[in-house]
Amino acid sequence: MSIEKGREITISVLKFNPRSKVSKPHFVDYKLEETPGMTLFIALMKIREEYDPDLSFDFVCRAGICGSCGMVINGKPALACRTLIANYPTGVLQLMPMPAFELIKDLSVNTGKWMDSMSKRVESWIVDNGEENDITKLEERIDPDVADATFELDRCIECGICVASCGTKLMRPDFVGAVGLNRVARFEVDPHDKRTAEDFYELIGDDDGIFGCMSLLACEDHCPKHLPLQNKIAYLRRKLVALK
Ligand code: SF4
Ligand code: FES
């Protein structure tokens, strides 16, 4: 019985090591055979195992959960582990690291460092009114609809794809991005957080926050978790502009 061969695909990768004095940005093409159900993650693992052990890229979960594998695929930021090669009819995929983040090497960028500073900037934690918690009391009940709305916004995996897609972020290096504004929206809806609209205005009421977004929509178009980013940004903007 003859085994049918898969089509030949080309994965073209921008390679660069910013810490090396001799490294210059350049594309390297890898040709390999497509296998059934092949994701970009599988293709990159094959390249690293069989052709180029020096190729750098990030992965943890392989299931669209950890947010590590964002990269620019044929011009659009996406998760490599959720990218099916079969969806690319030409069989040619050009890969670049996501912009807006510190480049570590090749396709690997430091999203964690950026997320950490954004989290501090938007004070991404529950702020209560300082009262001591009485652990002998029953937990406060929350309306299921409010809990659902909070969990919905908590689905963000901090992949950075909305930031890499964002025209405003490229113009304003300190813009908190859709991920940062989504974080504020998450705490604004959570009744455990006692901050007022004025408090949130202090955090994001400027052009690096809610008033910087130009509504280009690429964040929502590319978010792998399909979060309602533009809705939430519009809601926050309407609420905070009324305070002016
Ligand atoms: S909002 Fe969406 S695109 Fe942005 S970091 Fe979260 S999951 Fe990724
Ligand atoms: S490897 Fe975790 S999201 Fe892709």
Write a three-state SS string for 156-206: CCCCCHHHHCCHHHHHCCCCCHHHHHHHHHHHHHCCCCCCCHHHHHHHHCC
Q: Is 156 in the pocket of ligand 1 (CB under 6 A)?
A: yes
How far CA 137 is from CA of 64, 132, 134, 144, in Å, comes to 39, 12, 6, 20
E strands present in the chain:
8-15, 26-33, 70-73, 76-79, 92-96, 102-105, 108-110
Question: Contact, 166 vs 175, CB < 8 A?
Answer: yes
Nearest residue CA, atom 1 of ligand 1?
179
CA 62 to chain centre: 15
Q: Is 39 in the pocket of ligand 2 (CB under 6 A)?
A: no
pLDDT of residue 137: 87
* pTM for the whole structure: 0.93
Which residues touch 29 (CB under 8 Å, ≥6 apart)? Answer: 10, 11, 12
- Location of structure tokens 């006692």: 194
Question: Contact, 67 vs 158, CB < 8 A?
Answer: yes
Which atom of ligand 2 is closest in space to residue 59's alpha carbon? 1
Q: Is 223 in the pocket of ligand 2 (CB under 6 A)?
A: no
Which atom of ligand 2 is closest in space to residue 157's alpha carbon? 3
- Residues forming CATH 3.10.20.30 domain(s) in the chain: 8-109
122-128+141-241 has which CATH code? Answer: 1.10.1060.10
Which residues touch 46 (CB under 8 Å, ≥6 apart)? Answer: 32
Nearest residue CA, atom 2 of ligand 1?
223
Residues 2 and 55: their CA atoms lie apart, in Å, by 34
CATH of 8-109, one of 3.30.950.10, 3.40.50.150, 3.30.420.40, 3.10.20.30: 3.10.20.30
Tokens of 115: 């997320």
Q: Is 179 in the pocket of ligand 1 (CB under 6 A)?
A: yes
- Residues forming CATH 1.10.1060.10 domain(s) in the chain: 122-128+141-241
What does the chain come to in residues? 244
pLDDT tens digits in sequence order for the chain, 244 residues long: 566 788 999 999 999 999 999 999 999 999 999 999 999 999 999 999 999 999 999 999 999 999 999 999 999 999 999 999 999 999 999 999 999 999 999 999 999 999 999 999 999 999 988 888 788 988 888 999 999 999 999 999 999 999 999 999 989 999 999 999 999 999 999 999 999 999 999 999 999 999 999 999 999 999 999 999 999 999 999 999 888 6
Q: Is 220 in the pocket of ligand 1 (CB under 6 A)?
A: no
Nearest residue CA, atom 3 of ligand 2?
64
Which atom of ligand 2 is closest in space to residue 81's alpha carbon? 4
Q: Which amino acid is at 214?
A: M
